[in-house]
Structures are given as C-alpha cells and as structure tokens.
Amino acid sequence: MLMEKMISSADEGQTCSPLAGPGSGPHNRGAVGFVLVHAGAGYHSESKAKEYKHVCKRACLRAVDRLRAGALAVEAVTAALVELEDSPFTNAGTGSNLNLSGEIECDASIMDGKSLHYGAVGALSGIKNPVLVARRLLSEAQKGKLSAGRIPPCFLAGKGAQHWAASHGIPPCPAEKMATKFSLSAYRRNKRKMEVAERVEAECYQTKRARQAAENDRDLGSLARVRAIVDCGENRSACLDTVGAIVVDQEGNVAAAVSSGGLAMKHPGRVGQAAHYGCGCWAQNAGNAVPYSTAVSTSGCGEHLVRTMLARECSTAMQAEDAHQALLEAMQTKFISSPFLVTEDCVLGGVIVLRCCKCVEDQTSQEDAHTLVEFLWSHTTESMCIGYMSAQDSKAKTHISRLPPGTVAGHSLAIEGGVCRLGNKSD
C-alpha cells in the first residue's frame, strides 16, 4: 500500500513555505542556502515529539548560521550533524545505542557534491562527534596524495580511526560521557531479554520427541516475540537509527552527511549503512552527465540500506523529470520490492532528498537567476522526524511524518515534500 502526499509552496514568491506557520516570513534577504535534516526513521512517540522536533530545529539553525556567514555546503552540513550528534535523544554520538559488550561504536560519513570526495568512519569509539572525523578525512583527501605517492584514506574503522582522529587533533571523549541514562537502561533491559531468549532457545532444542517438538513450535513463537522486543526495547523509540542532513549553499553546491550509533545490541565491530559508500549519504553537483544537483541522507535498518545502496539509487532517480514520482518508484522498486531483500519479512528505512538547478527567468540578465530546490522525504518505518529551513527563513519548520492508520511498517511508504526558491544573493 502506498501513501502519496505532496505538499508544495502556496506562494512561489515566499522563500520556502510547505508546512509553514505564522511568522515564517523572509529573513536576512542577502543570504542564500537551504538545509533539510532528519532525526531518524523508526518510531517517534508522541510523548517525545517535542524533543525530536526541537533538535531538528537546532540542527537547521546551526547549518543556516553557517550559510549566512558565507560557508559552503560541507561546512554547513557538518554543523547540522554536530547538533544532531550532541542531542541525547538521537542515536548518534551522545546517547548512541550500546553494543553487545556494552560499548558505543559509531558510524558516520559525509560527501561533497562539488569535489565528489567522501569521508567515513565505522565502529568508532571514544569520539564525541564522529562526523568531525569523517569531515577531516574528506578534507585531507582533497589535499591530494600523501608522501611517497600514497593515496589518503576515505574510510577508517575501529582503533585505526580513533588513532587517526587523535593524530589530527580531534580530542577523545570518555565513554561514560557519551552514554546516557536512557541508553544505559535500554542496554540493561535488552540484555535481560536476551538472556531470557537464550534460555527459551536452549529449552526448545533439548529434545526431538514429537510431542515436545510441537511444544517447541509454540516456544519458538514466544522466542520470536522476545527477540522482537530485544531489537526495539519496550519503548519503540529505541528503534530510531541514523540521523542526517543535506544542504545546498549560495553557490549551488550540495553536501550530505549521516551519523549513527547503530542497532541496539549489535555485534562489536558491526558497521552500518552510515559509513558505507552510496548507502548512507550521497551528494553530486550538476554536470555534463546529470542535469540536477542532488543530495540524499538515509536512515533505518542498516543492513537493508547497505544491500540496496539506497542513497545512490535515490540520487539517480532524482534525475527524472518528476522528482516526486521518481522517488516513490525508487522506494517501491529499489527498496521495498528489491530483489536483494526478497527474504526479508519487512523492509525498514527512510530517506531525505533534494535536487536543485539554476533557473534564469530573463535570459539577457543573470541577475534574475535563482536556485529552485525540490525537497522530499519518504519512509517505510512508522514515522520519521524532519526539519528544514532556508537561509532567508526566520525559523525552521519541523514535522513528524507517519504512515497512515491501518498500514504496516516495512510494507507501506509515506512520501512528502515541497519546493523552495532561493533568490540571487543580490535580492
């Protein structure tokens, strides 16, 4: 079942007006740029909706502050990610899920649409803001080859990533400062449930007698329910995964970033989509081969996103004439119905995407040029929290997108979005 909804700007003269409320008029007319962020695709409880929206607003403001100061897209998207990582309500940086060993290991990546350079870290411990390490990897790669013609790394993992970060001036952070009361209590709760699940499993396979085998069938059903609870915790908001942001700057450059603490109770060393090339984020400026600049950031079940390379697939889809229809079809055919996920009972994930192009209303004068940004979000999870803002807006807009009542997560999708017109710097 598909839910299709497109929210467009009611007045193209406004900077950016989907979901706009009172008082969201233009601000700082000399600034140009746009940011769209997400606080994970999963389940956002009504009781914590205010907190999720608030962190999205702060992330948008951080990015817009940088854009107003003349920063390029990569710097602005990094600022947004730092804010998202610092929030104890998100599963990235501070407050990340703990792995089986009770440790925090984070993944993050960033991509610059102008240079097409990419930086990523996986299973990284002891760093407060993993996106800063990914950003530094990108920056170092842009400088060119190392001594003796060595190629600089774009993706580092584990201890190697931690040591590289320290050698490049990124300070370590004690593990106890990154864990929160919520993440610790979720870990203890999940550990108890895993112990119960393991006991049930042991009992189920003690005998092969027919009568007991029938009883085992019922026990295995209970085991499956226990495991489902372990995966998400009693509070389903524990299922929230990756956070991310996408940005277009005053020059029309795009950038994307993503950061995650990974699945709860994951195996130590597991690396999710947030660090994989083409899976967690994608950014590419328009060029000879592509008419639109595109940026994508994903969230959800990392294994599903890795096996479908969803970020790259969505970027490619956005080159079609109808962005909304193209994203809808990509989510359906390249994700929910992907041949790489046919064995999965449900496919869980979400994306935020934007595409932009330069428009000139008067062909005789470049002064009338503006950038048209189409932005969308889509998810197969129960909900997804997003925020967006242009550099000319007075405040960020936030929204928790939800699947309609009666639909099933992993089999249905929601899709929404809008249009933003970014004026010339001289406006």
- The catalytic residue positions are 242
Q: Partners of 372 in the beta sheet?
A: 357, 421
Q: What angle do CA 295, 300, 305 make, to 5 degrees?
A: 65
C-alpha–C-alpha distance, residues 388 and 158, integer Å:
33
User: What are the respective helix, strand and coil percentages of the chain, to the nearest 5?
Assistant: 35, 25, 40
C-alpha–C-alpha distance, residues 137 and 153, integer Å:
7
CA dihedral 66, 67, 71, 75 (to 10 degrees): 60
Sequence letter at residue 417: G
CB 370 within 8 A of CB 252: no
CB 261 within 8 A of CB 108: no
How many angstroms separate the Cα of 367 from the Cα of each of 16, 29, 40, 285, 391? 20, 15, 39, 22, 19
**Neighbour tally for 234: CB within 10 Å:** 10
Find the radius of gyration of the CA atoms of the chain: 22
